[in-house]
Amino acid sequence: MTGSGRTARLAWIAAAGMLVIICATLAVSRIIPSLNVQENSLPTDPQQTCVVTPAVFATWFAPPGPALNGLVNPANSLTFPNNNPPSPPATANCPFYEWSEQMFLWLTSPVGGTHVFRTSTFFDVSPPDQTSLFGNRTFIPNPSPAVLAAP
């Protein structure tokens, strides 16, 4: 095939590709307006369930208490309640939500220029061992100082 023939063929392929993109864009633009944005927005009148009181929230923080960028204590995972029999449906999962909120705050607490999840409480995982038949991995301790560990 000559250079000009090849160029013409590539131009046709590019044009066909552009036509496919234009058709797909038009099809999507016809679908998107049919989505009701109101159905996908947050409610303006949410129910007040699983509310963390200021007193309970204050216990989550290490002394001196709640503060911007303050260190949060880890939630006690050993005394996590088992709803057996279950609580009323509206509040059945509140203990889990409170535990997860506190654990999220603890993991993202700033400590010594880093965050809790980058301290010696947690480990990285090594790349697969290329000399091992099974590609074994090992835990690598983070060099940062230790902080309060989760029970």
Domain range list for the chain: 3-39, 54-141
The segment with the largest mean pLDDT, out of 40-49, 65-74, 83-92, is: 65-74
Burial class of residue 31 (count of CB atoms within 10 Å of its CB; 0-12, 13-18, 19+): exposed
Q: Which of 68, 65, 53, 50 is nearest to 109 (CA)?
A: 68
Mean pLDDT value of segment 99-122: 83
Taking the alpha carbons of 137, 138, 143, 144 in that order, is the dihedral positive or negative? positive
Which of 8-22, 29-43, 55-69, 87-101 is predicted least confidently? Answer: 29-43
Give the model's pLDDT for residue 109: 87
Q: Above 50 in pLDDT, residue 41?
A: yes
Between 24 and 41, whose confidence is greater?
Answer: 41
pLDDT at position 131 over 60: yes
Q: Tell me the Cα Rg of the chain.
A: 27
Q: Token digits for 22? A: 């234009």
pLDDT band at 105 (very low <50, low <70, confident <90, very high): very high
Give whichever of 14-18, 88-92, 100-104, 141-145 has the largest mean pLDDT.
100-104
